Amino acid sequence: MSFSVVQVVGNVAMGGAERHARDLVAGLRARDVEVHVVCARLGPLVEQLRSDGVSVRCLEMAFPRPGDEYGLDWAAVEQLEQYLRERQPEVVHSHLYPAHLHASLAATRAGVPAVVHTAHTLVVRPGDALLGRLTPVHIIATSQVVRQLQAAAGVPHERIDVIYNGVGDVHFETQASLVTEARRSLGLGEGPVLGVVSRLSPEKGIEVLLHATQHLSRRIPNTTLIVAGDGPEWPRLRALARELDLEGVVRFLGARTDVAVLNRLFDIFALPSREEACSIALLEAMAAGCAVVATGVGGSVELIKPGVDGCLVPADDPEALAEAIYALMLDPARRSALGQAARRAVANRFTLAGMVEQTLNLYQRLLRIEIGAGTTAPLAC
């Protein structure tokens, strides 16, 4: 492709949005798009992008404020504007609100033809609507519920497209020898293995899964729960596991890079989130052919057809979660059927290649619009 894109990411810890951004960068580069990345600071995402051979510039743009808000730093906008004037990309695409807040303004001031932001969460701030009115930014919503929330907040509905997250080929096919080695290294026995891959933060509800596991371990003594991921809730969750007498049941693995392998160790993948836009972790487990039990919140209801390719339960209900998992543990045939249906659903609707292609199509459509209608004038501030 004969154009360039600057991706701007407002965080560097490897959560779902950051993994999405890295995958998108790789997919665009494979299609001969010139891609540069601006990240808030040094961290795991920067290290991984640079190991991929990607040009990365660090510019602090995340300034937390009380009430889960973020502040605008005009010096950061001006620095980013200068960088964009030097690069002269056709597209600027931001991820996470701090990046949106600074990149959409900077790109508009720099006269970038296409300005795009992906809304990765259900959180909508007053700034989202303001940026939607003050700049020509086009929003990618990762689920229909995200689109509805953005539109309800005042973002022009005609400038919102839904593009679901997607997962790559590695999550559909993994070498059996790697799975065998992982099982050996973790010392897993013959009992059922329950798993979750998640950032350890309050909205993920991992403590609900710990309580559900306590119920399960009394009924199926050899149950193992694997928790893969890191985050601010780590100390509290470890303490809760000790309090619930689950120290021999729960394995906290921390952040992992072998998620595709871990998903094949799980008999059941459980995601007890209180909110989700479009869970990449859930899609990855489904692609692995794993039976999934998730809470019926946010975009998860758009990913799973209950009883067909997974199970949905209410949020914050450890008993309901435990019962759904227990029923699947007792029914291997149903687990297999749900897992295979889940795998087909992801292959048909939620692939990484499909996500990249839809995003690229959006870029091209916006660039054609700009060429046909004239370049939007820079914002005067």
pLDDT above 50: residue 11: yes
Kindly indicate the confidence band of residue 378, based on its pLDDT and cuts at 50, 70 and 90.
very low
Question: Residues with Cβ < 8 Å from 161, sequence gap 6 or more?
Answer: 138, 139, 140, 141, 362
Q: Do domains 4-166+352-373 and 173-349 have the same CATH topology?
A: yes
Q: Residue ranges per domain, the chain? A: 4-166+352-373, 173-349
Confidence (pTM): 0.92
pLDDT above 60: residue 286: yes
* Average pLDDT value for residue range 294-306: 97
Q: How far from 86 is each of 29, 103, 146, 319, 330, CA to CA, in Å? A: 20, 15, 34, 57, 61
CB-CB neighbours of 376 under 10 Å: 17
* Record: fold of 4-166+352-373: Rossmann fold (3.40.50)
Tell me the β-bridge partners of 117.
94, 139
Which CATH number, 3.40.50.2000, 3.40.50.920, 3.40.50.1820, 3.30.365.10, labels domain 173-349? 3.40.50.2000
pLDDT digits (tens, 9 = 90+) for 171-225: 998 889 999 999 999 999 889 999 999 999 999 999 999 999 999 999 998 999 9
